[in-house]
Homo-oligomer: A and B are copies of this chain.
Amino acid sequence: MTHPAPNDPLVILMPSGRRGRVAPGTSLLEAARQMGVEIESICGGRLTCGKCKIQIEEGVFQKHGITSGKAHVSPPGAEERELLENMRATNYRLSCSCYVEGDILAFVPEEARAHKQVIRKAAKERLIDVNPAVRQVYVKVEEAKLGEHRGDWGRLQSALAEQWQLEHLTIDLQALRNLQAALRKGKWKVTVTVWQDREVIDVRPGYQEGAYGLAVDIGSTTVAAYLCDLRTGELLATESLMNPQVKYGEDLMSRISYAMMNDDGLDKMHKAIIDSLNTLAARAAKEGGIHSRHIHELVVVGNTTMTHLFLGISPVEIGGAPFALATRDSVDVKARELGLKLHPGANVHVLPAEAGHVGADNVGVLIAEEPYHQEEVVLAVDVGTNAEIILGNREWMFSASSPTGPAFEGAQITYGMRAAPGAIERVRIDPVSKEPRFRVIGEERWSDEWPTGAHITVEDQPKHLASGICGSGIIEVVAEMLTAGVILPDGRFNPTLEHERLVWKERKGMYVLATGDQTTTGEPLVVTQMDVRNIQLAKAALYAGAKLLMIRAGIDKVDRVVLAGAFGSYIDPKHAMILGLIPDCELERVVAVGNAAGDGARIALLNKAKRQEAVDISRWTRYIETAVDPLFQDEFVAAMHIPHASDAFPHLEGLLPDAENVPMVKPRERRTRATA
């Protein structure tokens, strides 16, 4: 390359505004490269992929120092015109075959930029740089000829090194098996799929783009899959299904027990999740208009028990102290080794874990929310059977796992059920009348708008009557019972309240949330004292975990609360705070971000640098073992009251009943007293 002369043509590329002089006859693709503007190209300038589009601006551009943009590039040939046939604007060219003849002002459209970004809805709206582990390149390979003995793979290696600077590559046996036929069918031009710039995983004849990836979040209950185009980053399909392991145990401990008690327990649960992923992949592929054989990579997150079972590793050690993982590292393994029916050369990447009870799903939340890049202190909680809690900012980061139990998911609740049609998900109780109204999933009207009486038309009937109460419903009903004075801060039903909704049986109260004519069974739907106690235990565990981290970090308030997970998406921040799930914070700074773990998987799928970040951050984050921390027990006890007896909630002022009769006790003071 010779240095451009001062009177060489000036090229200005918008929207970056980068400018530079290049020798006449330079292609705009090359000119852009010299100026540090990366334009996408799969075929490397062979007029095949049509990706390197650019718009030549015409007219007089004196303000840029250009007097005319017209005719300052070489005219397009027939091949180029064909590739540009469907473009609406006529000033489009392919930069690889558009040669500079004079000063040019050109615009690189979004879709032609090499490093694409996709927007992700998050606590803070965030861009994902599309820089996947799988990429495709189109190469022309030297033909085999007598007396030249490198072998086809040797020739392909040379071509990849010369045309794409890809060196020291290996080739997957499956790709090697197809190599010779592909080279000949493609007349020595092939599209090569490369993983991590180190292994060739596919060779297709001619120009055949298309690489797809699947990000999967294996939850104990639900498995969610996101199909992405690995070139554009586009989300093509989202699918989910129940984790089939549920039949071997509802919660993690019962699945671990199942693996311990049954010789084939691990094998059955492993096969069950693999089968499900094959189903999910096939469904997502169909929805996205591709075939699951075109899925070139799978990125997996899940709690540690889920990732162990997915990899066919016994979770038994996670079931008891000291909760040792087989591996905390990220894992790369061929999909076919696990029986996954994706592309034959596809890789599976499992994100790293942090500790025995803080798995790849939490690391997914971390890399999706990036609290470690922020100034403000973020508390992120992902509530499931266990709650994973992260607290920190760019300076420090703590994590913990807290045994909330399944109450928040509707288990251990008398009328608890999953979030399905018929489940009560919203509850309001009038503070004066103590009368409730609720909304069920699948019916838009609140229960007090449901028609009553003998002459209701079929269309007027609620689509679903109440058949149970799901996680968000149970939180709201307990919070509303508190604010309405139906229950007392210690969780007991108010013995001084006389109301037809408050029924006593054997000295235990229960609240009638739905009457018989509002339910599918015809029986009243009640919230019992035991239900309230279970919610108290769960919320105390969650709060105590968060509090423990705050104490360890030496802070007494958080700047932002992130509620991750499906559960977080449905609960109302106000009710969560009233109930005391989370510490005090400005209400508008409590945000639900949906399945952040799944987002983390998608981010790691689309951006390989994020995988290293995940490893680094998983080791940097300090994990606090709640199970053995005496402070946790103190905080847990103190957090049983509603709201907490131990901490002030200035942001709830006016929302809570008078709590004068509940003395404020700092657990650390209490502890000091106890040990004094």
Q: Quick check: B314 and A173 within 8 Å, CB to CB?
A: no
Which residues does chain B contribute within 8 Å of A355, judged by CB atoms?
149
Q: Quick check: A144 and B322 within 8 Å, CB to CB?
A: yes
Closest to A354 in B: B149
Q: Is A328 an interface residue (CB 8 A)?
A: yes
Q: Quick check: A177 and B322 within 8 Å, CB to CB?
A: no
Q: Is A559 an interface residue (CB 8 A)?
A: no
Bound complex: CA A625 to CA B147 (Å): 6
Bound complex: CA A32 to CA B56 (Å): 75
Q: Is A311 an interface residue (CB 8 A)?
A: yes
Q: Quick check: A154 and B312 within 8 Å, CB to CB?
A: no
Closest to A147 in B: B625
Which residues does chain B contribute within 8 Å of A111, judged by CB atoms?
none
Which residue of B147, B151, B152, B353 is within 8 Å of A151 (Cβ)?
B353
Contact A153 to B327, CB < 8 A, known contacts A322-B145, A628-B146: yes
Bound complex: CA A181 to CA B148 (Å): 52
Q: Quick check: B313 and A151 within 8 Å, CB to CB?
A: no
Annotate A351-395 by CB proximity to B: 1 below 8 A, 0 otherwise. Answer: 001111000000000000000000000000000000000000000
Q: Which of A421-479 contact B (CB under 8 A)?
A: none
Q: Quick check: B625 and A146 within 8 Å, CB to CB?
A: yes
Q: Is A164 an interface residue (CB 8 A)?
A: no
Closest to A333 in B: B173
Closest to A146 in B: B322
Bound complex: CA A347 to CA B163 (Å): 32
Annotate A311-354 by CB proximity to B: 1 below 8 A, 0 otherwise. Answer: 11110110001111111110101000100000000000000011
A10 to chain B, nearest CB (A): 48
Q: Is A623 an interface residue (CB 8 A)?
A: yes
Which residues does chain B contribute within 8 Å of A333, judged by CB atoms?
173
Which residues does chain B contribute within 8 Å of A325, judged by CB atoms?
149, 151-153
Bound complex: CA A323 to CA B311 (Å): 42
Q: Is A519 an interface residue (CB 8 A)?
A: no
A177 to chain B, nearest CB (A): 5
Q: Quick check: B149 and A317 within 8 Å, CB to CB?
A: no
Bound complex: CA A335 to CA B313 (Å): 21
Bound complex: CA A625 to CA B144 (Å): 14
Which residues does chain B contribute within 8 Å of A566, judged by CB atoms?
none
Q: Quick check: A313 and B177 within 8 Å, CB to CB?
A: yes
Q: Is A179 an interface residue (CB 8 A)?
A: yes
Q: Is A176 an interface residue (CB 8 A)?
A: yes
Bound complex: CA A353 to CA B153 (Å): 13
Q: Quick check: B323 and A146 within 8 Å, CB to CB?
A: yes
Which residues does chain B contribute within 8 Å of A173, judged by CB atoms?
311-312, 331, 333, 337
Q: Is A276 an interface residue (CB 8 A)?
A: no
Interface centre among A151, A154, A354, A356 (most CB of B within 10 A): A151
Which residues does chain B contribute within 8 Å of A147, judged by CB atoms?
322, 623, 625, 628
Annotate A172-187 by CB proximity to B: 1 below 8 A, 0 otherwise. Answer: 0100110111000000
Q: Is A589 an interface residue (CB 8 A)?
A: no
Which residue of B180, B326, B329 is within 8 Å of A324 (Cβ)?
B180
Bound complex: CA A316 to CA B627 (Å): 64
A143 to chain B, nearest CB (A): 8
Bound complex: CA A152 to CA B625 (Å): 18
Which residues does chain B contribute within 8 Å of A337, judged by CB atoms?
173
Q: Quick check: A329 and B154 within 8 Å, CB to CB?
A: yes
Which residues does chain B contribute within 8 Å of A625, judged by CB atoms?
146-147
Contact A327 to B154, CB < 8 A, known contacts A146-B322, A173-B311, A313-B176: yes
A17 to chain B, nearest CB (A): 44
Q: Is A198 an interface residue (CB 8 A)?
A: no
Q: Quick check: A326 and B146 within 8 Å, CB to CB?
A: no
A152 to chain B, nearest CB (A): 5
Q: Is A508 an interface residue (CB 8 A)?
A: no
Q: Is A150 an interface residue (CB 8 A)?
A: yes
A426 to chain B, nearest CB (A): 40
Bound complex: CA A474 to CA B220 (Å): 74
Q: Quick check: B145 and A328 within 8 Å, CB to CB?
A: no
Which residue of B180, B311, B329 is within 8 Å of A326 (Cβ)?
B180
Which residue of B180, B316, B329, B623 is within 8 Å of A317 (Cβ)?
B180
11 contacts between A and B (CB under 8 A): A147-B623, A147-B625, A152-B317, A152-B324, A152-B325, A153-B329, A154-B327, A173-B311, A173-B337, A177-B314, A179-B326
The 4 closest A-B pairs by CB, nearest first: A144-B324, A151-B328, A151-B325, A153-B327
